[in-house]
Structure 1
Amino acid sequence: MSAPDNKDAIKPPSPFYLGENSKRTKDKHQHHHSNASVSNYSPPSTAGTAASSIVNPFSPPASVISFSIDPVTNASMPVVAPGQQEGQEPIPRHGLTPLPRSTSYYGSRPNTGDSPSRVTSGIRLREAFAAPPARPMTAVSTSVSLAPSKTTRMRSTMLEDPSTLDKPWVTTKDPYARIAYFLTYSVAFLGIAASALRCYFGYKSVPLINGNLCMVLDEDFTSDTDTTFGPNGNWVREVQLGGFGNGEFEMTTSSTNNSYTSNGYLYITPTLTSNMIGADAVLNGYTYNLTDCTYNSTNPMTNPGSSNTTSFDATAYYQACGAVSNSTTGTIINPIQSARITTRNKASIRYGRVEVRAKVPRGDWLWPAIWMLPVNNTYGPWPMSGEIDIMESRGNGRSYPDQGIDYVRGSLNWGPLSFLNAVSKTFGWWTQRRTDYGEGFHTYALEWTESFLRIYVDTRLHYMLELSFNEPFFTRGNFPSVVQNGTEPIVLQNPWINGTNATPFDQPFYLILNLAVGGTNGWFPDNAGNKPWLDNSKTAMLDFAKAQDSWYPTWGSDGESGSFIVDSVKMWEIC
């Protein structure tokens, strides 16, 4: 299609192709002619040529020609607006000042040859990626602010106008809401009040010792061993090997190897009898006598294995003070030596308070105890006159299935006959959840009046036993009227019929500290914790001695881990 001839119309410039030898004159109205060998108008470069190796990916394709930029001088070409003659100055907009146009962001560089150089082409390539030049300030322009702009927060079209929302609770009060309000706070107030009352009455219900307490014994073991156990001391060693009615495997001695004071502590330490007489002598062919046996002074009316409670029993005496080892019969000499100390004939109380600060020993089949016996068997032999166990424990580890070293136990032993003990109705324990009682010292306490008895460790909150004397012990025991002793029936009599609700625990008691080992009375149940003996076996002590390699290493090699260590003992009596 051809355009009409009109000299006033804008004539587009002739096509210009960028090439190595291209050149364009500034004459807008004449065409330049050249020789055939050198052409001013070279066709566009194709793939594989030098010109096509530098391509700007952001430039328009080669078929689009800019009619406003001179490709040679990079100067702006005039654009004639409609109604304006060619050659006239462009008419600015009303109220705006025309701005000068710069030729290039990087400036202009005159050609030094007949054609544009590669440097000029590189500058044009970089110019395409350069940021545009800053626009000069004008009268109507403003400076660019660097402060963050505050944009209006977009509002969700899903929200309704608050003025159109229906709020019936504002105009009309729900009566049930008020009831729920008062009900909630009333229940909360009642709960707090009930908790306060529960705490108050719980506090008031804790029985306490009323009246004055007079100090009877205050022992801190700062004296040497001879003074502590001497004639003017507070303690007496009991020396026996008869098992003390429990079938215990140790013999108690007066040796300083087994009981002594050091650095303000009392130590009760178990040792091997074989260290004294040899291992072979313990098992066979040896007679061992306790020359300082205290059976006559400490147990003149009762003895192990004897029913005679009114006169001295020579057989029981020899059983308590001597032993013979015989491999044929399976009898051996007690394989362990330990100690048992008491305040008998030194200090005793009838109602009051006892505190013993001690650390229990660690080791299999060790049996430490803090307990009390009556000064006189007023109501008959054990347990008719009672026994108070302030603390008993087992030295076995925490994994022991029947309460090991992480448990301590308190109990009362009592009963109308020597073989009828109702301890199962009056006992309890406390336990350490993350440690055990062999890790440090603890205070074991007894509070005892004619109306109650409490045994605890460290604090009253950790009580092992709290018993109110609100009924007679014979009624508490719920004993049968007739019991069987073998083949002979026995009509049961109440030995405390003339006493009070506290009987038999209404007489003076003295304190005992001892460390036993093993036994056949059931304190260490059969088939628990790899127990190496059976209680009913005639060779129980021999079986225990043969298993020495399994239990002796657990006692420790320092002589202290397996020791029962006592820091202080205090006794008060109500006065």
Structure 2
Amino acid sequence: MENQAQYRGSGASTTTNSMRPGTPESRSSPFNDEITPAPRANPFSTPYTSRPASSFGSSSAVRPPASRYFHSRRVRKGEVEQPWRSKKDPKEKWVTIIPLIGMLIGFGIAGFLVYDGISSVVQHTYCEVLNDDFSGGINTAVWTKEAEVGGFGNGQFEQTTLTDENVFVQDGKLVIKPTLQDASLIESNNVINLTADGTCSSPVLKNCVSVTNLTAGTIIQPVKSGRISTKAGATIKYGRVEVTARLPSGDWLWPAIWMLPVNETYGPWPLSGEIDIVEGRGNNHTYQQGGNNIVSSALHWGPDPANDAWWRTNVKRSALHTTYAAGENTFGLEWSQKYLFTYINTKLLQVLYTNFDEPLWKRGNFPLSDSNGTRLVDVWSQTGREQTPFDQEFYLILNVAVGGTNGWFEDGQSGKPWFDTSTTAKNDFWAARDQWYPTWQAKGAGQMEVSSVKMWKQCDGDEGN
């Protein structure tokens, strides 16, 4: 007993054979084992776990007691009563029925909304206008090569030609390929005059004539390229367009698939509108503005070039883990009286979507006058159509432009070798050809390849509006 008291005083939990029968320490275990419950620990003693092992010495009398283990046993069937299982509450079934009814109602509402949305969209009938895979070469009844030096006022650095050097069919694909200008035309005073032989595609003189003047530091277009259109053979007013093409790679290349009105019904550009299905840049993905991994779609519309509202209808689309120069994509357009949208490969991957739900003049919020104080006249709303000027015949254009001074390539970005405001911009670009021309020369890199062009017009009786 003396040892027992000593152990209890020190927080130990042990028993001896001298314990009297009937005491709590001698009660049998409910699990029929020989382990007896430990006495209550002394709250003022030092916990064993807080003492180093060396502090216990070699005497077993002062060592911590052996670890206790948790014992479990299986509860046998019938040992625990479960009265709730003997009789079920009749209301319990509603716990299952009510959620199922809610789910059925939810599916029904969702199905109705989907049906209502689909049925409310006007389903147009389309008639084929053009389906060209270039297997028979360039169909001159449809396609027209265009020769100019003006670049549509963008200050581009290419001269578009009528020769097979820049636009041709190879391996069943239409190829538009930029090439270097004849150096002799740049290194000495020369004049390109496309009106002399009647080949110029533009009635504007500055789009047909270019001059090299070494004294002034100006040169003719340093690059030749191609532009081809369907103006003569395939036009649509509302409908669809799909062009399957691989865009080029190469610094300062500017590929475009776009549309212009057959007639300037409402006035000169951009009063009569422009539809850019896709535009890109040939530079690689490190280019600050986005290279051949990004394309954009836009509409151009406004009372004059200074008030072009293209920024209100302009959207970019990045390629997913690839580039638009790595392989072919289908660039599409769907256009009706109520909407216009562009897409890539599938209508589900839309780029630009524009609703014609209010007059475009109102949407543009244009000023009352231009910078010269001339009043800007609304020539669109008088038609009574909210989609004006996109309510007339348009034709398709495919081209690869180079450079330019309109800001498509921003000054100071990624080593751009010219400034838009410089009078010697073309000369500066030509002087840097050892930097950019090698990026065009990898096999197929510096050219746009077109596999097919398809055009449909809306032919369900609404195309006249």
Could you say which TM-score interval applies, normalised by the shorter chain?
0.7 to 0.9
SS at match of 1:553: helix
SS at match of 1:364: coil
Q: How far apart are 1:337 and its partner, in Å?
A: 0.1
Q: Is the 8 A contact 2:167 2:174 kept in 1?
A: yes
When Rg is computed on C-alpha atoms for both structures, the one with the higher figure is 1
Q: CA 1:284–1:449 in structure 2 vs 1: closer, same or farther (change >3 Å)?
A: same
Residue identity in the other structure for 2:278: M
Q: Which residue of 1 aligns with 2:348?
A: 461
Q: Which residue of 1 aligns with 2:222?
A: 335
Which of 318, 324, 327 pairs up with 1:431? 318
Does 1:371 find its partner at 2:258?
yes
Q: CA 1:187–1:366 in structure 2 vs 1: closer, same or farther (change >3 Å)?
A: farther
Does 1:299 find its partner at 2:202?
yes
Q: CA 1:188–1:209 in structure 2 vs 1: closer, same or farther (change >3 Å)?
A: closer
**Structure 1 range deviating more: 361-370 or 344-353:** 344-353
* Distance of 1:398 and 1:202 partners within structure 2: 39
Partner deviation per Cα, 1:269-328 (whole Å, 9 max, x = no partner): 10000xx344xx424433333354544xx433xx4xxxxxxxxxxxxx1x3223222343
Q: CA 1:161–1:367 in structure 2 vs 1: closer, same or farther (change >3 Å)?
A: same
Does 1:236 find its partner at 2:150?
no
Q: How far apart are 1:569 and its partner, in Å?
A: 1.6
Which of 165, 170, 174 pairs up with 2:80? 165
Q: Is the 8 A contact 1:293 1:321 kept in 2?
A: no
Residue identity in the other structure for 1:436: T
Q: Is the 8 A contact 2:142 2:232 kept in 1?
A: no
Partner deviation per Cα, 1:198-236 (whole Å, 9 max, x = no partner): 65455446x45523x3322232212345xx34xxx3111
Q: How far apart are 1:334 and its partner, in Å?
A: 1.0
Q: Is the 8 A contact 2:230 2:396 kept in 1?
A: yes
Percent identity for Structure 1 against Structure 2: 43
Q: CA 1:544–1:194 in structure 2 vs 1: closer, same or farther (change >3 Å)?
A: farther
Partner deviation per Cα, 1:522-566 (whole Å, 9 max, x = no partner): 2122232322222222222222222212211111243x2211111
Which of 160, 184, 191 pairs up with 1:252? 160
Q: How far apart are 1:503 and its partner, in Å?
A: 0.7
SS at match of 1:267: strand
* Distance of 1:423 and 1:514 partners within structure 2: 20
Q: Is the 8 A contact 1:209 1:447 kept in 2?
A: no
* Distance of 2:111 and 2:441 partners within structure 1: 50
Does 1:505 find its partner at 2:413?
no
Q: Which residue of 1 aligns with 2:191?
A: 287
Q: Which residue of 2 aligns with 1:270?
A: 178
Normalized per residue, which structure has more strand? 2
Does 1:542 find its partner at 2:455?
no
Partner deviation per Cα, 1:227-257 (whole Å, 9 max, x = no partner): x34xxx3111111112321111111011110
Q: CA 1:179–1:266 in structure 2 vs 1: closer, same or farther (change >3 Å)?
A: same
Residue identity in the other structure for 2:458: I
Q: CA 1:184–1:536 in structure 2 vs 1: closer, same or farther (change >3 Å)?
A: farther
Q: Which residue of 2 aligns with 1:21?
A: none
* Distance of 1:292 and 1:176 partners within structure 2: 95
1:286-435 aligned within 5 A: 286-290=190-194, 291-292=196-197, 294-295=199-200, 298-300=201-203, 303=204, 317=205, 319-435=206-322
* Distance of 2:432 and 2:373 partners within structure 1: 41
Residue identity in the other structure for 2:164: T
SS at match of 2:334: strand
Q: Which residue of 1 aligns with 2:57?
A: none
* Distance of 2:312 and 2:359 partners within structure 1: 13
Q: How far apart are 1:173 and its partner, in Å?
A: 7.3
* Distance of 2:256 and 2:347 partners within structure 1: 20
Q: How far apart are 1:509 and its partner, in Å?
A: 0.9
Q: How far apart are 1:454 and its partner, in Å?
A: 2.0
Q: TM (normalized to structure 2)?
A: 0.75
Partner deviation per Cα, 1:156-209 (whole Å, 9 max, x = no partner): 64444553436465468799988876676566656655654565455446x455
SS at match of 1:390: strand
Residue identity in the other structure for 1:282: I
Gaps of 5+ in 1: 1-155, 304-316
* Distance of 1:193 and 1:533 partners within structure 2: 62
SS at match of 1:329: coil
Q: How far apart are 1:470 and its partner, in Å?
A: 1.5
* Distance of 1:247 and 1:175 partners within structure 2: 84
Q: Which residue of 1 aligns with 2:54?
A: none
Which of 124, 144, 159 pairs up with 1:210? 124
Q: CA 1:196–1:209 in structure 2 vs 1: closer, same or farther (change >3 Å)?
A: closer
Q: Is the 8 A contact 2:202 2:208 kept in 1?
A: no
* Distance of 2:83 and 2:309 partners within structure 1: 73
1:545-556 aligned within 5 A: 545-556=430-441
Q: Is the 8 A contact 1:239 1:253 kept in 2?
A: yes
* Distance of 1:529 and 1:449 partners within structure 2: 40
Q: Which residue of 1 aligns with 2:374?
A: 490
Q: Is the 8 A contact 2:143 2:232 kept in 1?
A: no
* Distance of 1:351 and 1:218 partners within structure 2: 17
Q: CA 1:198–1:258 in structure 2 vs 1: closer, same or farther (change >3 Å)?
A: same
1:527-538 aligned within 5 A: 527-538=412-423
* Distance of 1:326 and 1:469 partners within structure 2: 49
Q: TM (normalized to structure 1)?
A: 0.62
Q: Is the 8 A contact 1:389 1:411 kept in 2?
A: yes
Q: CA 1:330–1:495 in structure 2 vs 1: closer, same or farther (change >3 Å)?
A: same
Q: CA 1:553–1:177 in structure 2 vs 1: closer, same or farther (change >3 Å)?
A: farther
SS at match of 1:330: coil
1:98-109 aligned within 5 A: none
Q: How far apart are 1:408 and its partner, in Å?
A: 2.4
Does 1:562 find its partner at 2:446?
yes
Q: CA 1:241–1:299 in structure 2 vs 1: closer, same or farther (change >3 Å)?
A: closer
* Distance of 2:190 and 2:197 partners within structure 1: 19
Q: How far apart are 1:457 and its partner, in Å?
A: 1.6
Residue identity in the other structure for 1:489: G
Q: Is the 8 A contact 2:243 2:450 kept in 1?
A: yes
Which of 519, 526, 535 pairs up with 2:411? 526
Q: CA 1:323–1:420 in structure 2 vs 1: closer, same or farther (change >3 Å)?
A: same
* Distance of 1:176 and 1:293 partners within structure 2: 93
Q: How far apart are 1:494 and its partner, in Å?
A: 0.8
* Distance of 2:285 and 2:155 partners within structure 1: 25
Q: CA 1:540–1:175 in structure 2 vs 1: closer, same or farther (change >3 Å)?
A: farther
Which of 493, 499, 516 pairs up with 2:401? 516
